Structure 1
Amino acid sequence: MKKTLFITYGLLIVLTASTAFISNTMSVSGLAIVLIMGLSVLKFLLVSFEFMELKKANSFWKVSVIAVLALIVLGIIL
């Protein structure tokens, strides 16, 4: 379990660095926005499932969190 947390933490650091790299190298475009939002969604899901123990929760909560996240992201992108 501890190994999984360290791997998740390392992945979060890599994803954060990737987001910073994308925002500094790409001009403001639709592709940059989609990439940054995609990385943000991935980071949110990693934190919620690993550190907030959502993976052990009822399926209702898993589906609810993912559905609300999808609505928020679609609202921002569109």
Structure 2
Amino acid sequence: MKKSLVFTYGLLIVLTLVTALISNADLFSDDIILLILFFSSIKFLLVAFQFMELKKANPFWKYSLSLVLGVLVLVIFLMK
């Protein structure tokens, strides 16, 4: 098995655990929401580029996915 896949999988587990710990904290503010959105975005990009082979795709798809993710995060944060 590729080391990069194992590393990515481990990083996804760590980010999930950190997100779960942060979300269970009594202190809940806009900064916490932004941090959770940031970690979720990183996890989404890791899965898309590593496991869905997006890193080998046309640059149009890479930029489009990143742009849509950025707009989605911005809309979610602004709707709060």
Q: How big is the alpha-carbon RMSD for the aligned residues of Structure 1 and Structure 2?
A: 1.0
Q: Does the residue aligned with 2:28 lie in a helix, a strand or coil?
A: coil
Match of 1:7 in 2: 7
TM-score (norm 2): 0.93
TM-score (norm 1): 0.96
Q: 1:26 touches 1:32 (CA, 8 Å); kept in 2?
A: no
Runs (5+) with no aligned partner, structure 1: none
Could you tell me how far apart the structure 2 residues matched to 1:38 and 1:58 are? 25
Number of residue pairs the alignment of both structures matches:
78
Deviation, structure 1 residue 9: 0.1
Query: How big is each residue's C-alpha offset from its partner over 1:29-53, in whole Å with a ceiling of 9 and x where there is no partner?
Result: 1011001000000000000000000
Unaligned stretches of 5+ residues in structure 2: none
